[in-house]
Structure 1
Amino acid sequence: MKLLFLGSKRILLFYLLLLLAVSASHAQDILDSTFQQPTPDQALTEFLASVEQKSTLRFYYLDEWLEPFRMPESTDRVSLRTTLGTLLEGSGVDFVVIYNYAVVFFKNPAHSQQRDALIKKATAERKKIDRVTVGNKNTYQPGKRVTIQGLVSDEDNKAPLAGVTIYVHELNRGLATDAAGKFNLVLPAGEYLFTLRSVNYEEKVLNVMAYGNGELKVQMIIEPTLLEEIVISDQNILNTGIGQSKLKLTELQRAPSFLGEADVIKQIQMQSGVTTASEAAQGFNVRGGSTDQNLVLFDGTPIFNTSHALGFFTAFNSDALQESAFYKGSVPAEFGGRTSSVLNITSKEGDFNKWHGKGGLGLVSSELVLDGPLKKDTSSLAFSVRSSYSDWILNQLETRYRGISEGSIFFYDANIKYAHKLDKHSKLTVSGYTSMDRFSIANDTVNQWQNIAATVRYDKTVNDAWFYTAALHWGQYGYQVSEDDPVQAFDLNFGVIYPSLKIDVNRNGILHKQSFGFHSTYYQFRPGTITPTSEESQIKPASVPRETAIESALYFNDSYNWRSNVQIEAGLRLSIYNRLGAGNVYHYLPDLPREPEYTTDTTSYSAGQFIKTYIRPEPRLAANITLDLQSALKIGYNRMHQYVHLITNSATITPVDIWQASNTYFKPVRSDQFSVGYFRNSKSNVYDFAFEVYYKMQANILEFKDGANLILNPQLETALLNGKARAYGAELTVNKLKGRLTGGFNYAYARSKRKVEGPFDVETVNNGSWYPSNFDQPNVFNANWRYNITRRIFFTGTFTYHTGRPVSIPVSAYSTDGNMIMDFTARNNYRLADYHRMDVAFVLEGSRKKNRLFESTWVLSIYNVYGRKNPYSVFFVSQSGMLLKPYQLSLIGTAVPSLTYQFKF
């Protein structure tokens, strides 16, 4: 049946139909419950006629509206509402159901008006709109479903860009490129406006004429220096997961930093929900988790130590990085092995067409980055190196502990990446990374540690929808503590080697974007060896037997556009852990505390024999409900397990901390996190707003016994206790994205508590009550700003404040046999003074003309502007026999200026 309209009355009828639809909305279930399998390539009008013959439904339309549409090939049994909605999407033709039998099709007048408004706005903002054609215009058929296979890459080095958001305005739908920079989009043939955005890149607007199936290759330009900078304003709206972000690497060099060293980890620490203990604290704490609960990947290989100089600097050269993604809420199923967050860092790939160089000269270190083609458009090489060159900086720091300023420091890091295009659909990549540190305080011991990571990766595109990646990784971390005093001379060594295999398969479907794969890592721990290094040394040699384990996982992830405004991402990761021999398992008396003196027996396992196996499912779920063009509501749930543990009795990582594999007594840490967030952008995209709340529960965390000996202890189960933790909080973030003054602030109210309650007093902490963890900081506030004085001169700054962290202090002391005994009534019973600091920088950039051969930048930075003596720790010294005098240690108690020169060619 057909309904004829008079042209001038269509708009009036449109609103009348909407009114009727609302009055009859309670009766629209008939389309949701009606199923009929169409014949492939069948005309829509013929399909509707066949439905009328087999049901009570009646359809009203104009022939000219529906005749161009053909039914797509489908094997899915979907409702009639879904079939029509998918087919007519983006065409401007819509439909309503009246009185549960009449389906009326109409032209939506708002469709063309919205498009005209978007083009007018882009023109007013002086945005270039590139016109591209996909398919053959001669075969154009309105309404026919076409497939666009897209590839987004860097204009300079042609490297694929992952995580680029593509927003199709007419469909009110967005998607993102995968790890290979690809996307797959199925939509009705027609004209569309695409907006592509990515952190660190200039926004791209395309007018796409989609006539048929075809490829769409887009090259994006590194974000230039502009008075009114182009900013990513819809990432939080379009991304499915909650608590996910991409770091803005282009801003690192402009931000104030300690001694001019650009720092990706410090940028992480300025995000809401992330804290750190102090300036010299290695790593970071995320939503109440410890530092070892963060998975840091460099080209897919885990990095165990991410810092130089005990946390003053980061072990990654920011100029050598391509992108960095951070997950603190909803973590995709492809990641596992840690329970708080994931920082996924990808190094820069060399340009396939021409050579580039970049470098910097600072007060502490210098760096050089080179990349370019070995064979044009076929193979490329990227290389970077950074090294410190003097110990003088520690001598300039005013501290309350003179030993700091009399210390010695040296570090370097380097990475190399080779990429080779085997053919049009496959690529081989080989990358390597290393970092090394040597650090000492006055006449104290010398600490050295080193990271090594290597990756061989093969990427293959099978067809339009399928591609896979196979990678071999090699990781190694170790440290050495040396003492030169002849009486106490020794070398203490620890190390871990962890090769791994990863296979990831991705499928881009029409409604589903799926990934699945297999990961396996082999661990070999050397828990510790101490060796005397002089004939006079009183140190006795000792070692702890090596430990081996295999951690594997199977995972599946599915991102599904359930409705036009609802995206769901569901995943399941099945982790399998095997602790292997050779090794010993000690047995203890059942009715007494677990102590070395109560050991009753030992079970020995030969090499390769299974000692303990854990199989743990890890469900993941995230949903993004787009409320309108400017706002979204997100929810997320994660369950994750961790099988390797950092063993420490301090609030920050130290060189003598060790990593312990799960075993019979140390179960894997289990973490469950629930989070909900509301995200909104202003209509003008000048401001964005985010508010998130979360609750995290953890089981099987490890805490140390009071007075525990952790170094070279072959029976660590007698020194550590199993407990549980909980963390909860709310995070608010507000950013100003455009204008001469840009920046933002974030505030987090966050609590992190632990509970250890054993069957015996010696295995119980704080009488079994909840107590604040070492990194419990209830109030955290961060602010950052950038003021454009001119087009090339900037004033930037950051301010951070957080509640002082908990520490344990004695409430009394007594002397026995000449030894001072301190009495601690409770763990973490006191807090250090609140921490706050302001840093500023003046940035002078040279000319940024596109064809300029050489560019330069000067950065004058002042760290700790007002010279705040933030406490690092509190310690006590006995005086006059019984008197305890407290001292507060501040590592950086003065303003620290620096000047850095950066160049690019």
Structure 2
Amino acid sequence: MKRAICILVLLCCCMHMAWAQKSVFAIRSYIPSFQKATVKDFLDDINHSGKVVIEYASNNLDTAKVISLTGFPNTLGAVLQQVLKDQNVSILEKNNKIILIPSPVPLPADFFITHYSIYGLIKEAISGEPLADATIWHPSLQKGSLSNTFGHYTLVLPEGKQVLFISYAGYNTRKLEVDLSENTRIDLTLEPKSNIQAVTISAESKPGQSAENISHGAEAVQDMFLGEPDAIRSLYMQPGIKNIPEITNGLLVRGGSPDQNVFLLDGNKVFNPTHLLGTLFIINKSAVKTLNLYKSNFPARYGGGLSSVIDVVTKDGNMQQWKGEANAGVLAGSFTLEGPIKKDRAAIMLSFRHSWINPLLHVMNSGIGVNFYDLNVKYTQWLGKKDKLMLHVYAGQDDLTLHRDYTNNVQRWGNRTASLGWNRLLGPKAFINTSVNYSEYKNIAGFRYNLYDSTGASMQNRVYNTYSSIEQINAQTRLEFTASNTLRFITGAKANFTKVRPFDSNISTEFFDKPEDFTDFPPISFRELVFFLENEIRPDKEFFVRPGIHVSHFTNNGFDYTSWQPRLYATYRLDKQHQLNFSYNHMTQYLHLVTNPYLGINGDAWVPSTSSLGPEESDMVNLGYTFRNKKKLILSAEVYYKELRNVTNYVEGKNLFLNTADWEQNVQTGKGWCYGLEAKLEKTADDWYFQMGYTLSWNWRKFKGINNDEKFPFKYDRRHSLNAAATYHLNKHWNFSTLWTFSTGDVFTLPDRGYPDFDDAQQIFNPLSPKEYRLIYHSSAINQYRTLPYHRLDFAATYEQQHTARLISRITMGIYNIYGSPNQYVYDLEGTMGKRSLVVTTQYQFFKITPYISYTFAF
């Protein structure tokens, strides 16, 4: 009996669907003679109108039921939807008639209603800049949609008059009334609440928004460095994210190494996105439109890294008027200028920054020399109303010298990127974006090694110079298709070609800074093809799920590898205050970043996967909880567990930079485990904002032949990390902010015995010559010690004055590292002829108690 009922229900549903798809009766115009009557009266009125003949048996309907029409329906389908509501009937169309037959289930709530798509672009009114993640909402139907990265939105609604609300953080909410009778394109604009635009850092406040839980309040409290505005530095305040200042791209996420982060600038991968060893990022805050961070849920469209994805989109440029912003601080000077080449059709954005802190560093006797710049240029051109072209170019470089007691390093690194993008509005439900990208990274590093005698006099002076580079060309396309308000498809493909020069070297008595001075090691080339598909499914307003699959095929000199990477993300809103989320991610990474242990700062080499050096892979599970209330209190917590395979390490005693021919034998692979708890508290009031993040984590590695084959703490393992920040707005001119950060110290290794090194591979040709004498230290355990904790307190005050409607100035004054905490502790060894080993503790204080002032004006 149950099976028969199920079959009947299925047949009825199929009939409903078939009728709704092929019948033209539903869209015929019809205005009823009355607004309130019985079911029989309405059906008789339809028959008398001559629009269609409706036949029915009175015992199959509750014909005496009184119906009051709402919303002034003006089509036959719209009227029948209300008249036959909750009636257990099905539809049969025959001989130009509609026959109502019995059914075990009522008609679907929207069976007779014809649905249309309202779609278009959501932009800022003043500049014409597309707004990503803007909300378009229908309150009575409880249906809504979010604009994508390029401002495109699609919302499917029933025919007739509809009232919508469009909103975006920092902008005035707009009301829109529309009478839908066909698919309709409406480009919408929103007015900002102030003339100064804030960088949008995405927040996962609604089910289905796919960035991590970073509040818009993070704009107000930033980890500012010497007054230099940097939106991306706010990421360091998030749980699970750490900054390691002694490596060039010093962003560590959930126990992963720096190479496991993917940084995208307008969809183009940047291999080292930082200045000053991870202190600043390469993009001015005033040039950034949106910033999305993914560290626990990874949409299927992303790949290539195990720990995180940072997706930055720059501004298109103001299509209406010329405007700009300039900043002059202790560290650097910068400006951003944007405006129309042709109003509403073409615009350009230019952003530049250059350092000028060296005179101050010399006065402070810091032992550091810093010189960096970055340049961003973006040109946007509309081709009609459906097509847009975007050309983005970036160039930047760092020159860093470090001269301290036992350290002498010189380093130059830089990026060049170019992207040509095209996006097209295909129709009411489809949008496509295609781009061709080029990215190049070059790194020259030199490390001076000195040997001293028993009196402390220098007996040997050698410089280990290294050069590495990586180039990548890729083409990619992504199609977004909105099937309905509850189902969305995102699919696409990508093709990469990458060429790496991982470890050219030169040993001399001087530093080299030109690529042509190095031995030309043959470059390594490889290819990767990617296909991805993800669905966004919203069965109801409480539940959202995003399954996806990322498939990649890697080829390198006869080594082929295909990786199937399933992804799943889901949220469930228990009520208006409580929400749960879950995610699972399988990730694969084909590039390895190995760091030479003998070269001090940044002895990095990018090497690809081979048959003996397999791709790095990870599986991660996350479970989270979020609480929000009307008093603007947000509390979130998440636990995670991640397992890593084929992570890399140098084979003990080997030196990749000196033995390039067999470099694969000098790198070994192992396993890793990362797990922990992350918690975050945010509170917003009328005049102040407070944010606190805490991380409890464990990070382990295991390699054959190291630490007796037992797991040991990863070199960047930090058990506890805490960040607390607050901003107070005194009045319309003054605001004050403070930041305190604390983290457990890093792990390190000390040897328990040492012996002379007579190995030719280490350049010891004559063991009897004092100038060639050197010690090798042996450790029976790895990372068994931990440095002292790191903590720092900063304070800043900002005065803002609006001179005219368009001219605003700001003066920021502050103190970095108020109580002079060391930047880091480093434990090292020096060998001498008199003392065979000496433990040296170095407290790096690149920036001690450092007051600063910066001036910004926007026009």
TM bin, normalised by shorter chain, reads 0.7 to 0.9
Q: Distance in 2 between matches of 1:833 and 1:34?
A: 72
Q: Distance in 2 between matches of 1:406 and 1:65?
A: 81
Match of 1:504 among 478, 492, 501: 478
Whether contact under 8 Å (1:256, 1:863) holds in the other structure is no
Q: 1:347 deviation in Å? A: 1.3
Q: Provide the residue aligned with 1:114 in structure 2.
A: none
Whether contact under 8 Å (2:433, 2:477) holds in the other structure is yes
Whether contact under 8 Å (1:648, 1:710) holds in the other structure is no
Q: Distance in 2 between matches of 1:186 and 1:314?
A: 40
C-alpha distance 689-216 of structure 1, shift in aligned 2 (>3 A)? farther
Q: Provide the residue aligned with 1:524 in structure 2.
A: 499
What secondary structure sits across from 2:670 in the alignment? strand
Does residue 625 of structure 1 match 2:572? yes
- Which deviations, in whole Å up to 9, do the C-alpha atoms of 1:542-587 show, x marking residues without a partner? 443210001110111111222343222111111011103xxxxxxx
Does residue 613 of structure 1 match 2:560? yes
C-alpha distance 218-250 of structure 1, shift in aligned 2 (>3 A)? farther
Q: Distance in 2 between matches of 1:305 and 1:428?
A: 26
Match of 2:775 among 815, 820, 827: 820
**Structure 1, gaps ≥5 residues long:** 1-26, 74-83, 108-140, 581-610, 758-763
- Which deviations, in whole Å up to 9, do the C-alpha atoms of 1:397-423 show, x marking residues without a partner? 5xxxx7xx2332111000101111111
Whether contact under 8 Å (2:420, 2:437) holds in the other structure is yes
Q: What is the TM-score normalised by the length of structure 1?
A: 0.78
C-alpha distance 770-528 of structure 1, shift in aligned 2 (>3 A)? closer
Q: Provide the residue aligned with 2:838 in structure 1.
A: 884
Q: Provide the residue aligned with 1:237 in structure 2.
A: 205
**How many pairs were matched up?**
780
Q: 1:707 deviation in Å? A: 2.7
Does residue 579 of structure 1 match 2:556? yes
C-alpha distance 407-395 of structure 1, shift in aligned 2 (>3 A)? same
Q: Provide the residue aligned with 1:667 in structure 2.
A: 614
Q: 1:718 deviation in Å? A: 1.7
Whether contact under 8 Å (1:241, 1:624) holds in the other structure is no
C-alpha distance 810-42 of structure 1, shift in aligned 2 (>3 A)? farther
C-alpha distance 415-771 of structure 1, shift in aligned 2 (>3 A)? same
Map 1:257-656 to 2 at 5 A. 257-278=224-245, 282-397=249-364, 405-442=366-403, 444-481=408-445, 492-510=466-484, 511-530=486-505, 542-580=519-557, 611-649=558-596, 654-656=601-603
Q: Provide the residue aligned with 2:641 in structure 1.
A: 695
- Which deviations, in whole Å up to 9, do the C-alpha atoms of 1:180-215 show, x marking residues without a partner? 21111112346666554445x325242544544423
Q: Distance in 2 between matches of 1:566 and 1:322?
A: 29
Whether contact under 8 Å (1:465, 1:507) holds in the other structure is yes
- Which deviations, in whole Å up to 9, do the C-alpha atoms of 1:803-843 show, x marking residues without a partner? 21211122444668764343312111111111221211101
Q: 1:437 deviation in Å? A: 0.9
Q: 1:515 deviation in Å? A: 1.5
- Which deviations, in whole Å up to 9, do the C-alpha atoms of 1:485-541 show, x marking residues without a partner? 99857863211111110111111221321111110111111123335789999x996
Map 1:115-264 to 2 at 5 A. 144-189=114-159, 194-198=164-168, 201-206=170-175, 208-213=177-182, 214-222=184-192, 224=194, 235-240=203-208, 244-245=212-213, 248=216, 251=219, 255=222, 257-264=224-231
How many percent identity over aligned positions? 24
C-alpha distance 825-210 of structure 1, shift in aligned 2 (>3 A)? farther
Q: Distance in 2 between matches of 1:191 and 1:309?
A: 57
- Which deviations, in whole Å up to 9, do the C-alpha atoms of 1:219-269 show, x marking residues without a partner? 23445399xx999999433142676256759937x7452221222342111
Letter in 2 for 1:779: H
Q: Distance in 2 between matches of 1:233 and 1:630?
A: 22
Does residue 833 of structure 1 match 2:788? yes
C-alpha distance 474-231 of structure 1, shift in aligned 2 (>3 A)? closer
What secondary structure sits across from 1:319 in the alignment? helix
Whether contact under 8 Å (1:277, 1:652) holds in the other structure is no
What secondary structure sits across from 1:838 in the alignment? strand
- Which deviations, in whole Å up to 9, do the C-alpha atoms of 1:725-780 show, x marking residues without a partner? 111122211211232121211212222111223xxxxxx22222221112222222
Does residue 857 of structure 1 match 2:831? no
Q: 1:106 deviation in Å? A: 14
CA RMSD of aligned residues (A): 4.1
What secondary structure sits across from 1:394 in the alignment? helix
Q: Distance in 1 between matches of 2:598 and 2:177?
A: 55
Q: Distance in 1 between matches of 2:328 and 2:227?
A: 9
Q: Distance in 1 between matches of 2:143 and 2:723?
A: 33
C-alpha distance 245-421 of structure 1, shift in aligned 2 (>3 A)? farther
Higher relative contact order (CA 8 A, sep 6+): 1
Q: Distance in 2 between matches of 1:668 and 1:316?
A: 30
Q: Distance in 1 between matches of 2:473 and 2:360?
A: 37
Does residue 36 of structure 1 match 2:14? yes
What secondary structure sits across from 1:846 in the alignment? strand
Whether contact under 8 Å (1:245, 1:327) holds in the other structure is no
Whether contact under 8 Å (1:804, 1:832) holds in the other structure is yes
C-alpha distance 893-374 of structure 1, shift in aligned 2 (>3 A)? closer
Q: 1:62 deviation in Å? A: 4.0
- Which deviations, in whole Å up to 9, do the C-alpha atoms of 1:125-174 show, x marking residues without a partner? xxxxxxxxxxxxxxxx9965342114211222212122223343333344
Whether contact under 8 Å (1:240, 1:567) holds in the other structure is yes
Q: 1:673 deviation in Å? A: 1.3
Letter in 1 for 2:595: T
What secondary structure sits across from 2:186 in the alignment? strand
Match of 2:801 among 842, 846, 859: 846
